[in-house]
């Protein structure tokens, strides 16, 4: 009798799952992205409106994922939900886009940001910057290779560290920045009108800063009591991040004039310089490095579980879905992800791939939410959690997601066409692979 193949190990509790949500969402964007938002919506009420709407949409998306996570407990998250609601082809396109561009591109991009901020402390050339980024990817992949318990524990430690740093920035900002409340005065930057299109573009920037909220669902088979733990982690995590983002933006606009916030390319460092003088930039560079490291760690932890699920369904080579007999991790998928992300860093191609494809993520989020309606009507499916506000709230999320996609296509038609074409390129690959898997099943009989 053949021994059963090794399985993934359950080692992620509520604290670790919540830390995963928070750690992935809080990367480098909150230290850079506010300037882009303020530049497009240059008023204090407008800026807060963008961040509140971004947080609200993210929370609604988290509620959708929470219900689906309480329904399907297999690893793979969005891939599983799309597969179950529609067909394996739709799920495959999500995984295809993830590996070749969206997920791997984020890993590469955030790793490069980590390395660039390290140059504040050490003189580095372009080659050494890329080398450090690759080293970060490989080291964090090795940590996750040796066990999900080690990977999630390290992720939790980094998340606690970055949350503490953000709290310190907020307290420091209101403490040392006392006496300058005039910076909260409402009013737009001169000669700049807020339009609906600009608000939507600012909203895209805000949602980018909230990105990654869904990734905890990828690890369902490694989560203790996933039907309850993952929904709670999604809701807790998004609320914590929304509070952190509102607090940091309040400090930015409390310490610096709105025009300065809009023009800054390193807003967090500029605030630190204004508060602390010499040494403020070094402090913020250290915070950004710590934050980006935690984000990369979470990304590396989550992604391979999708490729593992796809391989188990026969849509990728079986060896990609192999589980390490000792460590209980999808080790081949981790290695494959590390190699491709490192190659994107070394070639610099992640910039074009990621920037042109990332908007397509919201097409899949809309499909996933429509899938919730489909699955609600299907008999024989049980769930431990039903999202609040159904069907109005998820319908609002669908229309918002499609609005974001439409605005992106109108604003950047050439880049959008390229991104959508790259995703659809996965369809012929899927049908070739599905036919091969079918032939292998027949041969097995």
Q: What is the DSSP letter of 177?
A: T
Exposure letters 406-442 (e unless 16+ CB within 10 A, then b) = ebbeeeeeebbeebbebbeebeeebeebbeebeeeee
Q: Is the peptide bond before 391 cis (omega within 30 degrees of 0)?
A: yes
For 193, the token pair is 């009108």
Distance (Å, whole) CA 333 – CA 338? 9
Q: Give the pLDDT score at 194.
A: 62
DSSP letters spanning 228-296: HHHHHHHHHHHHHHHHHHHHHHHHHHHHS-HHHHHH-SSHHHHHHHHHHSTTHHHHHHHHHHHHHHHHH
Distance (Å, whole) CA 345 – CA 342? 5
Q: Are 96 and 79 in contact (CB under 8 A)?
A: no
The residue to which tokens 């040392």 are assigned: 176
Distance (Å, whole) CA 207 – CA 23? 16
Please count the other Cβ atoms lying within 10 Å of the Cβ belonging to residue 182.
8
Average pLDDT for consecutive 10-residue bins of the chain (445 residues)?
74 95 89 80 88 95 96 95 96 96 92 87 88 96 94 91 87 71 54 68 85 94 95 96 92 85 80 78 84 94 96 93 95 98 91 78 95 92 91 94 86 86 94 80 59
| Whole-prediction pTM | 0.91
Please count the other Cβ atoms lying within 10 Å of the Cβ belonging to residue 209.
25
The torsion of the CA quartet 409, 412, 417, 420, rounded to 10 degrees, works out to -60
Distance (Å, whole) CA 302 – CA 308? 11
Q: Give the pLDDT score at 190.
A: 47
For 180, the token pair is 């300058």
């Amino acid at each position: 009798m053949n021994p059963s193949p090794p399985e993934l190990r359950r080692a992620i509790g509520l604290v670790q799952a919540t830390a995963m949500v928070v750690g992935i969402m809080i990367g480098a964007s909150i230290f850079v992205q506010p300037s882009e938002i303020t530049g497009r919506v240059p008023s204090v009420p407008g800026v807060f409106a963008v961040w509140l709407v971004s947080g609200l949409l993210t929370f609604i998306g988290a509620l959708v994922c929470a219900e689906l996570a309480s329904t399907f407990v297999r690893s793979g998250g969005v891939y599983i939900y799309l597969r179950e609601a529609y067909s394996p082809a739709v799920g495959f396109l999500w995984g295809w886009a993830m590996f070749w561009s969206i997920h791997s591109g984020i890993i590469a991009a955030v790793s490069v940001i980590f390395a660039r901020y390290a140059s504040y402390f050490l003189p580095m050339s372009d080659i050494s910057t890329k080398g450090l980024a690759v080293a970060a990817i490989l080291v964090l992949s090795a940590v996750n290779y040796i066990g999900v318990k080690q990977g999630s524990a390290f992720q939790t430690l980094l998340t606690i560290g970055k949350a503490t740093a953000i709290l310190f920035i907020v307290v420091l900002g209101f403490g040392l920045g006392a006496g300058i409340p005039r910076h909260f005065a409402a009013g737009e930057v001169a000669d700049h009108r807020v339009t609906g299109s600009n608000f939507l573009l600012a909203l895209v920037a805000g949602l980018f800063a909230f990105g990654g909220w869904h990734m905890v669902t990828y690890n369902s088979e490694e989560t203790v009591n996933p039907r309850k733990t993952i929904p709670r982690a999604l809701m807790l995590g998004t609320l914590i991040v929304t509070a952190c983002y509102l607090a940091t933006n309040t400090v930015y606009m409390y310490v610096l004039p709105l025009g300065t916030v809009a023009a800054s390319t390193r807003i967090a460092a500029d605030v630190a310089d204004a508060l602390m003088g010499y040494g403020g930039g070094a402090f913020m560079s250290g915070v950004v490095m710590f934050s980006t490291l935690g984000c990369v760690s979470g990304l590396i932890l989550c992604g391979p579980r999708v490729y593992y699920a796809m391989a188990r369904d026969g849509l990728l080579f079986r060896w990609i879905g192999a589980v390490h007999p000792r460590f209980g991790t999808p080790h081949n998928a981790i290695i494959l992800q590390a190699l491709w992300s490192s190659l994107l860093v070394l070639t610099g191609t992640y910039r074009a791939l990621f920037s042109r494809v990332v908007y397509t993520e919201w097409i899949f989020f809309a499909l996933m939410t429509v899938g919730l309606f489909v699955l609600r009507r299907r008999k024989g499916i049980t769930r431990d959690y039903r999202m609040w506000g159904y069907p109005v709230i998820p319908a609002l999320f669908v229309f918002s997601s499609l609005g974001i996609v439409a605005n992106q296509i109108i604003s950047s038609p050439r880049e959008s066409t390229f991104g959508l074409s790259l995703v659809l390129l996965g369809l012929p690959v899927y049908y070739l692979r599905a036919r091969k898997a079918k032939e292998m099943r027949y041969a097995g009989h």
